[in-house]
Amino acid sequence: MIIRIEDDFNLRKIADSGQCFRVREFDNGMFRFITKDRVVYIRPLDEENYEISCSQEEWDSLWHPYFHLDRSYSQVRSRIGVRDKYLQAASKEGLGIRILKQDPWEMIITFIISQQKTIPSIKACVEALSSHYGNKIVTAYEEVYTFPTAHELTAATEEDLRNHKLGYRAPYLVDAAAKVSEGIIDLQDLYLRSDKKVFETLKQISGVGDKVSNCICLFAYGRTRLAPVDTWIKKVIEQEYKGKNPFPKYKDAAGIMQQYIFYYALTHKKELKR
């Protein structure tokens, strides 16, 4: 089926933006995205038209909100002040990035894993967990595994998880699986709560501090007022903004602006290291 997307939308930039770790790009330019037990393949035909593997109904109900297509990112970019040359450059280079609305449980585990790990290492750990504890899905293009649910991950011991190169994070994953599977933390209920409530509740999980909680809030719950600050963002704030956080003034677009700068920082590491 063919769909048309007229707003900012670049699959490769989304895949490389540090918010999702299970995207696959094929040699023919097609991209695969997976969330829970649903898989979609998307191939760009031109700047606005895309071939997708799912039905219109599935696209409208699942993938349209997943890609945050109900919001105009071109309008978001228009809010960047003309004096903010760094963010202007970052948004130009990151044009096409969108904040994905991913599964909260997967984001909890993914961003606990992400601490002190490179993006390739994060991807390897996530795929190892999926292949060992998830369920196989056979598509027209490949065999892929679902990310294990909290209940499925309770089958893993700390030793098992350490064997998957998770090190000190292993007990954090065990704690997360227990709290979510037992209903101590209700991830569905958090959709109805305030940004502050979601942020504080997630921090009840071992290994979830401010930065990880902000990532989950942004990349799972779509709380775009929240902007995670990691090592690279800290360097940008110090080097380009004289130590003053530039994101709060953008209010409900703060997280989107952060993602432009994060992507830009990744592609300009040498400049930040000087």
Q: Which residue type occupies 238?
A: E
The secondary structure of residue 30, as a DSSP letter, is: -
197 is catalytic: no
Residue 9: is it exposed, middle or buried by C-beta count within 10 angstroms (0-12/13-18/19+)? buried
| Gap between the Cα atoms of 124 and 185, Å rounded | 27
Out of 203, 211, 234, 235, pick the active-site residue.
211
Handedness of CA 117, 109, 143, 10 (dihedral sign): negative
Q: Are 112 and 173 in contact (CB under 8 A)?
A: yes
Backbone angles phi, psi at 241, to 5 degrees: -125, 20
The count of other CB atoms within 10 Å of the CB of residue 210 is 12
The CA-atom distances, in angstroms, between 85 and each of 82, 91, 219 are 7, 10, 26
Residue partners of 4: CB distance under 8 A and separation at least 6: 48, 49, 50
Q: Catalytic positions, please?
A: 211
